[in-house]
Structure 1
Amino acid sequence: VVLTGGVRTPSDALVGPVADAAIASLHFDMLFLGVHGISVEAGLSTPNLAEAETNRHFIRSARRVVVVADHTKWGTTGLSSFATLDEVDTLVTDAGLPGADREEIAEHLAELVIAGEHEG
């Protein structure tokens, strides 16, 4: 879904009141979301207030939330938090995330997926 309402640089994210209003009227089975930062204390965060508000609308409209974030996002906190880890169903990250951090994250999520690692 591509919604207008304003473009934020440098990420070129589509954010703002028009996008927020449109998202609020939609229902998503699954949302894939990238983040600036993720931590137990701050949850999901971004340095941009408008983007945080738009992300809140996306999460409220989604049945399932999947966050896609490489290991460098863990422990990073942006200016504005927009969701707790408990609002995330699945985190997809890479093998660079240390084992202790994996255990801490797994306490808050239904599913932690490490890209490139296979069970069995």
Structure 2
Amino acid sequence: MEGETDTDDDQSSADGDDGISYQELCQTVVQIGKENLCLKKEKIWLEDTVINLRKELDDERKKEANTSNLKKENVRLVVQIELLEKQVKNEKARSSDLNAKLEHHYKTVRMLTGSKELDKILSLGR
């Protein structure tokens, strides 16, 4: 009996029959093939998703760089505006001083003109 059991085991192994029928084996192979196909499709979808996400990340980095550049430009312009406002204030003060000097010179000229006529009038009265 012991010899028969070994022979039966050897025979079933040689036939490839480990308790699974040919149909079950084919169905399993087909199922694995379908799962493999689904996994390949999912892999392609994931690769496309990764590419799209990398593009979005690059776009965001470019936007951040542009934003950073705009912020730097904004700070530079604010400093320039402050400088120009100081210059305008200084020029207004200078203009006021020059206007005051001009008025003073006008008065001096009028006084000189007036004193010449006064001298003329006084000399006529002699």
Q: Same fold (TM over 0.5)?
A: no
State the structure with more CA Rg. Answer: 2
Give the TM-score normalised by the residue count of structure 1.
0.15
Give the TM-score normalised by the residue count of structure 2.
0.15
The structure in which a higher percent of residues are strand is 1
Which structure carries more relative contact order (alpha carbon 8 Å, separation 6+)?
A: 1
